Amino acid sequence: MLPPRSRRLRVVAAAIATAAVVSGCGALGLDPGRPAVEIPEGIPPGPGAPLPPIDVDAPGRSADLLAGWAEPLVDPTGIGRTALEAYGHAAAVMARSSPGCGLGWTTLAGIGRIESRHGTFGGSSVGPDGTVSPPIRGVPLDGTAGNAEITDTDGGELDGDTVLDRAMGPMQFIPETWRKWGVDANGDGRADPDNLDDAALTAGRYLCARGGDLTTPEGWQAALMAYNLSGVYLRDVRDAASAYSVGARPS
């Protein structure tokens, strides 16, 4: 259950997705067909720079309240300030709505790096309100290059493809999953997969629902494997998140 701000977050649906988010590097074509491998052992990445108290019920884009926290992290991590604000805000909302989850902003940042280079893949950029433009779309999910085959589920309304589904936005959700989990995190009245605030909080909700306690190795791994069923993907996200947790750029 989301906090009172859920009236503005406007949960699209609360039912759990029947399939994992079809995302990851294969969806964007960065490294298609990477094989699944044995899940690596190890603990979840550290929480990184602690978040200051933030009023997530503040009007408008309350992620802006994290500007002072995010600015010193931009250079050492290589993450844009608006993206950092989005990850931190999503973690703050989940800390209040699902305190037993233990989602760190570093996990969201690790996913954001692998999925879309924090909204900058292919020359896209992140606006001050979190909107990524031009929109990032993955390859058609036609069953090739290690991707699932998913015929169109939204009439092209969300992903622009009337034949096959495509992963959308900086966190790479397919239309079906977005319709079930998407939220409006910046108070503009709509849940937008191309807005990093909305996408980061949607990812947070999905991860907490699928993993339970993300402070445990088992919970963190379950959440990431639900997001993308690949041990290689899990390891890449873990390594990126671990680097961010100590204020460094992933190698």
- Confidence at residue 40, expressed as pLDDT on a 0 to 100 scale: 59
Number of Cβ within a 10 Å radius of residue 148: 15
| pLDDT over threshold 50, residue 6 | no
Which H helix or E strand runs over 92?
A: helix 81-97
**Averaged pLDDT for residues 81-86:** 98
Portion of the chain with pLDDT greater than 90, in percent: 65
Lowest mean per-residue pLDDT among 5-14, 30-39, 205-214 = 5-14
C-beta of residue 149 within 8 angstroms of C-beta of residue 22: no
pLDDT per position as a tens digit, 39-64 = 556 678 989 999 999 999 999 999 99
The least confident of 106-110, 195-199, 228-232 is 228-232
Query: At residue 22, does pLDDT exceed 50?
Result: no
Model confidence pLDDT, tens digit, residues 102-132: 999 999 999 999 999 999 999 999 999 999 9
* Cα dihedral 86, 87, 88, 94 sign: positive
Higher-pLDDT residue of 208 and 147 is: 208
In this structure, what is the dihedral angle of CA atoms 154, 158, 164, 169, given to the nearest 10 degrees? -140
> Which residues does 101 contact at the CB level (< 8 Å), separation at least 6?
94, 95, 207, 208, 211, 212, 213, 214
What confidence score (pLDDT) does residue 158 get?
83
- How confident is the model at residue 4, as a pLDDT? 34
Determine contact, residues 186/195, Cβ cutoff 8 Å: yes
**For the chain, what percent of residues have pLDDT higher than 70?**
83
Q: Is the pLDDT of residue 159 over 50?
A: yes
Query: Does residue 220 have a pLDDT over 50?
Result: yes
Q: By the 8 A CB rule, do 110 and 235 touch?
A: no
Which residue would you say has higher pLDDT here, 30 or 242?
242
- Residue 30's pLDDT is 42
Quick check: 14 pLDDT over 70?
Answer: no
